Structure 1
Amino acid sequence: MAEITFRQALNDTLREEMKRDENVFLLGEEIGTFEGSYKITAGLLKEFGPRRVVDTPIAENGFLGMAVGAAMLGLRPVVEIMTINFILMGIDEIINHAAKIHYMFGGQSAVPMVIRTPGGGGQQLSATHSQNLEVLFAHIPGLKVVAPSTPADAKGLLKASIRDDNPVLFLENLALYNTKGEVPSGDYTTPIGKAKVAKEGKDLTVISYSRMTSIAVDVAHRMEKENGLSIEVVDLRSLRPLDRETLVQSVQKTNRAIIFEEDWRSYGIGAEVAATLQEEAFDYLDAPIKRVASVEVPLPYSKPLELSALTGAKQLIEAVNELAPRRRRR
Structure 2
Amino acid sequence: MSRLFASLSLFCAFCTVTSVPLFAAEPQFDTVTLAYTTYAQPRVFDAKVEATKAATVSAQTSGRIININHDVNDLVPHGSALLEITNKEQGAELAGAEAELARAEAVNNEAQAQFIRYKELFPKGAISKGAMDEATAEAKTSTQAVSAAKAQLIKAKENLNYTIVSAPFSGRMTQRFVEQGETISYGQALFSGYDNEHLRAVFQIPQQDLVTLQQLDKVNILLANGQMISATDINPFNFADPQTHSHTVRVNFTYHNNTDLQVGQWVKVIAEQTSKPSLFVPLSALHQVGDLNSVYRKSADKIVLNQVRLGFIDKQKQQIEVLSGLMPGDEVILDAAQYLIRSRAAKAKE
Q: Given the two structures, how large is their TM-score scaled by the length of structure 2?
A: 0.18
Larger Rg: 2
Q: Which has the higher helix share?
A: 1
Which structure shows the higher strand fraction? 2
Q: Which has the higher relative contact order, 1 or 2, with Cα contacts under 8 A spaced 6 or more apart?
A: 2
